[in-house]
Structure 1
Amino acid sequence: MREQVLAALHALPELAVLPVEVVDDLFARAARRPFLLPFVALLLLMAAAALTLQPAYQRASATGRAWYLGGTVAVGAAMLWLLPGLSLYARVVSSVIYLTVLSIYMMDFGDLDRYRDHWRFLLLIFLYSGFWVLYFQMFDSVLWYVQAYVDASSLNHFVNGVLGALGVGPIFHFDVEHVTVINAGTIILLQLLVSSIVRKTRALPTMITGIAFGTVGMAMLAISTGIWVFMAGIIVFSIGEMTAHPKFISYVGQIAPRDRVATYMGYIFLYGVIGSSIGGVLGANLYVHWVDQLNRPRTLWLIFASIGVVTILGLVLYNLFLHRPEEQES
């Protein structure tokens, strides 16, 4: 993958005038300077500062509160914009994310009992995020794998034969964009059927079953590089997705306190934040190691399947020890 990135950089007209050694050095320096660690560290630092200042903020006048909010924004923006090596886009997006720290000032810490059970809810989101680590491989490692390994000639021959028999002119060629088409098409075709099947089943067991389907679909990619096995794996994964996800949303709506349903429904989207953040970085690094360097793509998919197994085990334990009987499921 490193060679592919460098080749793409060398092909850019803006970089063509630079010596190859300079471009290679820039790539190496960027790879050694990850942004995630300082981003998280600064976010935690700002949150701790806001938590310390929160009592004073609550006692302040309207003008004083405005100064607290403005000062927090100014300090956070200054730290972000002084970090070297960030693009304008990264600075703007990070600044917007940092604005969420301001919500700490609005919290009522005098009534902590209402937040006592929140850790169970957050743990559920964290466990469920394991499935979305697998899902977000559809946008990077799966696509790289298709380009490098999957032989789609038999599918191309079949589809073009059908098109020719129908007198349709365009020549079909399977490419990476068809991966998301398979995923979305499967959901469009089967979602109503799957929803009717699981309509009266309990939420947590149904989620576990759906994630099991997704795990099997991911493991199927390790069986063969043939296009039919690959498509079957993506379809099975998609069935798991459409089984687990609606029940997850339904379950959160059922366990949320009546006066905080909207808050809970907003927080559930943390699964995407966690899944994409971990999935993107983990997928890229594992692909470089197991596929680019060791030429062992089967191991890559078995590793991701094992993440699915761990997610299933975590939800099973959650269902056994943390799920409350009074939380009615449907």
Structure 2
Amino acid sequence: MSITKVFSKFPRTFWVANTIELFERWAWYGFFALFANYLTGSSDQGGLELTQTDKGYIMGVGTAILYFLPVITGAIADRLGYRKTLFISFIVYITAFLLFPHVDSFYGVFMVYLYLALGAALFKPVISATVAKVSTKETSSIAFGIFYMMVNIGAFIGPLLTLTTKSEPNNIFYISAFIISLNFILLYFFHEPKTEDKGPKGTIGQSIIHIFKNIGEVVKDYKFVAFLLIVAGFWTMYNQLFFTLPVFITQWVDTTPLYHWFSEHIPAISSMYGEAETQTMQAEFIVNSDALFIILFQIVISSIVMKWKALNAMMSGFVVCATGMALSLYTQNVYFTIFAIFIFAVGEMSSSPKISEYIGMIAPSDKKALYMGYSFIPVFLGNLFAGFIAGDLYGKWSDKAAIVKDFAQEKGFAISNELSQNEYFHSVAQKMNMSDHQLTDLLWNQYNPSKIWVLIYAVGIFSVVALFLYNRFILNKK
């Protein structure tokens, strides 16, 4: 069947849901793509100068909780109704974004982020379940391919808009609040997909008991649980795209050649997304190429893998993802980094939609939201593991702010800790009679901060091997 004929089979609700997803991802990634550098960046550039461990805890544990809650909110959405759940979600989203500019401590940021996580947890299972409900076995691969493309259109547009206001960090959150508010208009055109069973009516307590009974039923499906645990490895890799890579590029990658190329050929880009004083490009702009690659190639990749078995597509995708993410943390060459991000994107396009498709296909028709809620369990685990890698391990192995302080102590330099991160680094460079770029190269060669790629690659390969064994000995067990 041609893609055009597949498109014609989707009802209006499918397209409305995907547009709502686009705006939600626009708002989310508009702030989240910048969040790691916002948390840990130098105070003279609007950063909070929290430690990498703090960043790992906020983004790891906070986002993990976000992805655990849909286990419950998915079941609630089935009972309460999708439109009402979306309305509540948008209210929470907007108020959380408006609160962010008023907190700057670790605990303050963490608490507001948890509140934001509630809004996201209410949202996520509803849209995924809607796509699953209005698609069939014949159309599900393309359906989730379109869904994932819309995710990445939002993920691409969001940072491009907010990066233009990076000098005023508070605007990042105000823009996200405005974008979410646009979904109230779309909600008017959203029709409830058919649901066979919303669960028993009764008190809130009875509803909670019913939810946990459903959870117990799903947990009994040991094949499904094993699959979720294995897929956590993929999300551990994927999350480094936002937890680690923006910070790594900012601290270590020489983006000057890219800045000069844009200055010569597309000066508007270097003006909006570059720093004229340092002649560097913003790290988030470079990381955003992942979303651009997916927008350009997702339909093509989905068309190629639509006839593949889901598990085969996932295994292939996991290998490619692991290779791309590892290579992106391997070098200081910005062009090599972009190429590595492209490799990662190809693997992501092959595997990520297939995960949702697989779960949507095996879920009982009357419990789509519940099972799609469970699809976020590996993302929950992946965020926990990714937070540890991007936080504590990155802080010990790769954080330039920590490394330069160790270097200064080894050299016996007396430099005030009251200085901002950038000022401290400049001071060390001056004492070494070096430019900032020269000192960065010296620290790169002496401390080998890129070694973190080995761990990330190992996680990816372990996931592939585990998925192969799952397919061989668990899924096909008679």
TM range (shorter): 0.5 to 0.7
The alpha-carbon deviation at position 110 of structure 1 amounts to 11
Q: 1:43-192 residue pairs with structure 2 within 5 A? A: 87=108, 90=111, 93=114, 105-106=209-210, 114-115=217-218, 117-163=220-266, 170=271, 173=274, 174-192=281-299
Corresponding position of 1:320: 472
Corresponding position of 2:14: none
Counterpart selection for 2:302 from 192, 195, 216: 195
The alpha-carbon deviation at position 116 of structure 1 amounts to 6.6
The alpha-carbon deviation at position 142 of structure 1 amounts to 0.8
Corresponding position of 1:208: 315
Q: TM-score, normalised by structure 2?
A: 0.46
Over 3 Å counting, the alpha-carbon distance change for 1:117 and 1:146 in structure 2 is: same
Corresponding position of 1:18: none
Deviations 1:123-180, CA, capped at 9 Å, x for gaps: 211211211111111223211111111111222222222136xx99947632112134
Aligned partners of 1:160 and 1:171 also within 8 Å: no
CA distance in 1, matches of 2:264, 2:113: 50
Corresponding position of 2:12: none
CA distance in 2, matches of 1:158, 1:88: 37
The alpha-carbon deviation at position 318 of structure 1 amounts to 0.8
Corresponding position of 1:308: 460
CA distance in 1, matches of 2:456, 2:289: 20
Over 3 Å counting, the alpha-carbon distance change for 1:255 and 1:178 in structure 2 is: same
Corresponding position of 1:220: 327
CA distance in 1, matches of 2:330, 2:354: 30
Corresponding position of 2:151: none
CA distance in 1, matches of 2:230, 2:247: 27
Q: 1:243-282 residue pairs with structure 2 within 5 A? A: 243-282=350-389
| Percent of aligned pairs sharing the same letter | 25
What stretches of structure 1 of length at least 5 have no aligned partner?
16-22, 41-84
Amino acid across the alignment from 1:301: W
SS at 2:398's partner residue? helix
Aligned partners of 2:259 and 2:270 also within 8 Å: no
Over 3 Å counting, the alpha-carbon distance change for 1:116 and 1:168 in structure 2 is: closer
Over 3 Å counting, the alpha-carbon distance change for 1:108 and 1:208 in structure 2 is: closer
The alpha-carbon deviation at position 241 of structure 1 amounts to 0.9
Over 3 Å counting, the alpha-carbon distance change for 1:202 and 1:149 in structure 2 is: same
CA distance in 2, matches of 1:118, 1:180: 38
Amino acid across the alignment from 2:386: G
Corresponding position of 2:344: 237
Aligned partners of 1:221 and 1:298 also within 8 Å: no
The alpha-carbon deviation at position 276 of structure 1 amounts to 2.0
The alpha-carbon deviation at position 203 of structure 1 amounts to 0.3
CA distance in 2, matches of 1:141, 1:111: 33
The alpha-carbon deviation at position 115 of structure 1 amounts to 4.4
Over 3 Å counting, the alpha-carbon distance change for 1:5 and 1:229 in structure 2 is: closer
Aligned partners of 2:318 and 2:347 also within 8 Å: yes
Aligned partners of 2:397 and 2:452 also within 8 Å: yes
Aligned partners of 1:217 and 1:236 also within 8 Å: yes
The alpha-carbon deviation at position 325 of structure 1 amounts to 8.0
SS at 2:347's partner residue? helix
Aligned partners of 1:222 and 1:302 also within 8 Å: no
CA distance in 2, matches of 1:267, 1:259: 15
Structure showing greater relative contact order (alpha-carbon pairs closer than 8 Å, 6 or more residues apart): 2
CA distance in 2, matches of 1:279, 1:236: 20
The alpha-carbon deviation at position 313 of structure 1 amounts to 1.1
Larger radius of gyration: 1
Q: TM-score, normalised by structure 1?
A: 0.65
Corresponding position of 2:447: 295
CA distance in 2, matches of 1:176, 1:169: 12
CA distance in 2, matches of 1:175, 1:168: 11
Deviations 1:36-69, CA, capped at 9 Å, x for gaps: 99xx9xxxxxxxxxxxxxxxxxxxxxxxxxxxxx
Corresponding position of 1:72: none
CA distance in 1, matches of 2:470, 2:226: 9
CA distance in 1, matches of 2:258, 2:239: 25
CA distance in 2, matches of 1:194, 1:92: 34
Amino acid across the alignment from 2:474: L
**RMSD between aligned alpha carbons?**
4.2
CA distance in 2, matches of 1:198, 1:319: 18
